[in-house]
A and B are shown apart, each in its own frame.
Chain A
Amino acid sequence: MHPARKMPRVAFGVIAVLLSVSFTLAQHGFTPEELAQGGRLYQSNCTGCHGSAGDQVQGVSLLSGKFRRARTDDEVVAIIRKGVPGTAMQSFNFTEQQAGMIVAYLKSFAGGAAAAAADAPALGDAGRGKQVFEAKGNCLSCHRVGDRGSRVGPDLTSIGLPRPPIYRFVGVAEPPPPPSPAAIVQQLQRDLLDPDADISPVNKMFRAVLKDGSVVTGRLLNLDQFNVQLLDSKERLVTLQRSELRESGVMKSSMPSYRDKLTAQELSDLLAYLFSLKGAIQ
Chain B
Amino acid sequence: MITKLRIAILLLLIGGAVSAQQVPFERILNATKEPQNWLTYGGTLFNQRYSLLTQITPDNVKNLELQWVLQVRTMDATTKFEATPLVVDGVMYTVKPPVPSYEVVALDAATGRIYWTYSYTPAESRTCCGRNNKGPAIQGDRLYLATIDARLISIDAKSGREIFNVKVESPNTGLPSDYSFTVTPLVVKDKVIVGPAGGEYGIRGYVAAFDANTGRERWRFHVIPETGEPGHETWGGKSWENGGGSIWTPGSYDPELNLVYWGTGNAGPDWNGDPRPGDNLYTCSVVALDADTGKLKWHYQFSPHDEFDYDSTQVPVLADIDWQGKPRKVMMWANRNGIFYVLDRATGEFLLGKPFVKVTWMSGFDAKGKPIRAVQSSTSGVLVYPGNQGGTNWYNPAFNPRTGLFYIPTWEGTSSVFTKTEQEYKPGVGVFGGGGFTAVVGLTAPNTYTRTEDEGYYGSIKAIDPKTGDAKWAYKMSQVTDSGVLTTATNLVFAGGREGYFFALDARDGKLLWKSMLGGQVANGPITYAVNGKQFVSVTAGNGLFTFALRQ
Binding site for B on A (CB under 8 A): 166-175, 201-202, 204, 220-226, 249-250
Chain A residues with CB under 8 A of B271: 171, 173
Q: A222-B449, A223-B451, A225-B476 are in contact. Are A168 and B438 (CB under 8 A)?
A: yes
Q: Check if B482 is an interface residue, CB within 8 A of chain A.
A: no
Whether A225 pairs with B435 at a CB distance below 8 angstroms is no
Chain A residues with CB under 8 A of B270: 171
Bound-state Cα–Cα, A160 to B424, Å: 39
Convert B471-501 into 0s and 1s, putting 1 for each residue whose CB lies closer than 8 angstroms to a CB of A. Answer: 0000011110000000000000000000111
Bound-state Cα–Cα, A221 to B501, Å: 17
Whether B438 pairs with A201 at a CB distance below 8 angstroms is no
> With A173-B271, A224-B448 given, can you name 16 additional A-B contacts, CB distance below 8 Å?
A166-B439, A168-B437, A170-B438, A171-B434, A172-B434, A173-B435, A175-B435, A202-B451, A221-B449, A221-B451, A222-B451, A223-B450, A224-B477, A225-B477, A225-B499, A250-B454
Whether B388 pairs with A173 at a CB distance below 8 angstroms is no
Q: 29 A–B contact pairs at CB < 8 A?
A: A166-B439, A167-B437, A168-B438, A169-B437, A170-B416, A170-B436, A170-B441, A170-B442, A171-B419, A171-B435, A172-B432, A172-B433, A172-B434, A172-B435, A173-B271, A173-B419, A173-B420, A173-B432, A201-B451, A201-B455, A204-B451, A221-B451, A222-B448, A222-B451, A223-B452, A224-B479, A225-B476, A225-B501, A226-B501
Whether B432 pairs with A223 at a CB distance below 8 angstroms is no
Chain B residues with CB under 8 A of A169: 435-437
Chain B residues with CB under 8 A of A226: 501, 515
Chain A residues with CB under 8 A of B499: 224-225
Q: A223-B451, A225-B499, A226-B515 are in contact. Are A170 and B478 (CB under 8 A)?
A: no
Bound-state Cα–Cα, A171 to B448, Å: 24
Bound-state Cα–Cα, A210 to B437, Å: 38
- Of the four ranges (under 10, 10 to 19, 20 to 34, 35 or more), the interface on chain B belongs to 35 or more
Q: From residue A223, how far is it (CB to closest CB) to chain B in Å?
A: 5
Q: From residue B483, how far is it (CB to closest CB) to chain A in Å?
A: 14
Binding site for A on B (CB under 8 A): 270-271, 388, 416, 419-421, 423, 430, 432-439, 441-442, 448-455, 476-479, 499-501, 515
Q: From residue B163, how far is it (CB to closest CB) to chain A in Å?
A: 40
Whether A201 pairs with B452 at a CB distance below 8 angstroms is yes
Chain B residues with CB under 8 A of A222: 448-451
Q: From residue B204, how far is it (CB to closest CB) to chain A in Å?
A: 20
Dominant secondary structure of chain A at its interface with chain B: mixed
Bound-state Cα–Cα, A171 to B436, Å: 6
Chain B residues with CB under 8 A of A202: 451
Which of A202, A204, A221, A226 has most chain B Cβ within 10 Å? Answer: A226
Q: From residue B215, how far is it (CB to closest CB) to chain A in Å?
A: 36
Whether A170 pairs with B388 at a CB distance below 8 angstroms is yes
Bound-state Cα–Cα, A169 to B271, Å: 13
Which of B453, B454, B477 has most chain A Cβ within 10 Å? Answer: B453
Chain A residues with CB under 8 A of B479: 224
Q: From residue B447, how far is it (CB to closest CB) to chain A in Å?
A: 10
Chain A residues with CB under 8 A of B515: 226
Whether B454 pairs with A167 at a CB distance below 8 angstroms is no
**A-B pairs under 8 A by CB, number:** 76
Closest residue to A225 on the B side, CB-wise? B478
Bound-state Cα–Cα, A39 to B396, Å: 42
Chain B residues with CB under 8 A of A204: 451
Q: A173-B420, A224-B478 are in contact. Are A168 and B439 (CB under 8 A)?
A: yes
Whether A167 pairs with B435 at a CB distance below 8 angstroms is no
Bound-state Cα–Cα, A220 to B432, Å: 36
Bound-state Cα–Cα, A166 to B433, Å: 23
Whether A224 pairs with B435 at a CB distance below 8 angstroms is no
Q: From residue B426, how far is it (CB to closest CB) to chain A in Å?
A: 12
Which of A220, A223, A224, A250 has most chain B Cβ within 10 Å? Answer: A224
Q: From residue B444, how far is it (CB to closest CB) to chain A in Å?
A: 9
Bound-state Cα–Cα, A152 to B450, Å: 19
Closest residue to A174 on the B side, CB-wise? B421
Q: Rank and list the top 7 A-B pairs by shortest CB-CB distance, nearest first.
A: A171-B435, A173-B435, A224-B499, A171-B432, A173-B421, A172-B432, A173-B434
Q: Which of A166, A224, A249, A250 contacts B501 (CB 8 A)?
A: A224
Bound-state Cα–Cα, A10 to B515, Å: 66
Which of B430, B478, B515 has most chain A Cβ within 10 Å? Answer: B478
Closest residue to A200 on the B side, CB-wise? B451
Bound-state Cα–Cα, A166 to B388, Å: 16
Chain A residues with CB under 8 A of B423: 172
Bound-state Cα–Cα, A222 to B450, Å: 5
Q: A222-B449, A222-B451, A224-B499 are in contact. Are A170 and B476 (CB under 8 A)?
A: no
Q: From residue A56, how far is it (CB to closest CB) to chain B in Å?
A: 13
Chain A residues with CB under 8 A of B432: 171-173
Q: From residue B316, how far is it (CB to closest CB) to chain A in Å?
A: 27
Bound-state Cα–Cα, A223 to B423, Å: 41
Q: A224-B499, A225-B501 are in contact. Are A167 and B438 (CB under 8 A)?
A: yes
Q: From residue B376, how far is it (CB to closest CB) to chain A in Å?
A: 16
Bound-state Cα–Cα, A243 to B498, Å: 20
Whether B438 pairs with A220 at a CB distance below 8 angstroms is no
Bound-state Cα–Cα, A168 to B416, Å: 10
Closest residue to B423 on the A side, CB-wise? A172
Whether A167 pairs with B434 at a CB distance below 8 angstroms is no
Bound-state Cα–Cα, A82 to B452, Å: 43
Bound-state Cα–Cα, A202 to B447, Å: 15
Q: From residue B309, how far is it (CB to closest CB) to chain A in Å?
A: 8
Bound-state Cα–Cα, A201 to B437, Å: 17
Whether B451 pairs with A167 at a CB distance below 8 angstroms is no
Q: Which of B433, B437, B478, B500 contacts A223 (CB 8 A)?
A: B478
Chain B residues with CB under 8 A of A201: 451-452, 455
Q: From residue B297, how far is it (CB to closest CB) to chain A in Å?
A: 35
Closest residue to A203 on the B side, CB-wise? B451
Chain B residues with CB under 8 A of A249: 454
Bound-state Cα–Cα, A169 to B434, Å: 10
Q: From residue A166, how far is it (CB to closest CB) to chain B in Å?
A: 7
Chain B residues with CB under 8 A of A174: 421
Chain A residues with CB under 8 A of B478: 223-225
Bound-state Cα–Cα, A249 to B451, Å: 11
Bound-state Cα–Cα, A174 to B452, Å: 28
Which of B442, B451, B500 has most chain A Cβ within 10 Å? Answer: B451
